[in-house]
Amino acid sequence: MNLAESSLFLVCAMSLSVFNISKAVENGVTITPAVDYTDGTISHPKPFKCSVKPRSEHAVAIIKSIEFNQD
């Protein structure tokens, strides 16, 4: 459990360190996502639009340097 919590924290921290995540903008209008969840025993937020952009050129270089193991 400690390993899972630590791994989840690290993934979130690394993502937030290189990406700016904000509300989506369409036609100059900021879209505020509706708070809506799936039904079931384990509930998840339903898909919503957002903007995910690299924080800087240095962040882009870091993102491109990561190797993904696609087996």
Give tens-digit pLDDT for 26-54: 999 999 998 999 998 999 999 999 999 99
Using the predicted structure, report yes or no on whether residue 63 has a pLDDT greater than 90.
Answer: no
Measured between alpha carbons, how far is 17 from 55 in angstroms, rounded to an integer? Answer: 8
Give the domain ranges of the chain. Answer: 2-65
How many alpha carbons lie under 13 Å from residue 41 in its C-beta half-sphere? 0
Does the global pTM surpass 0.75?
A: no
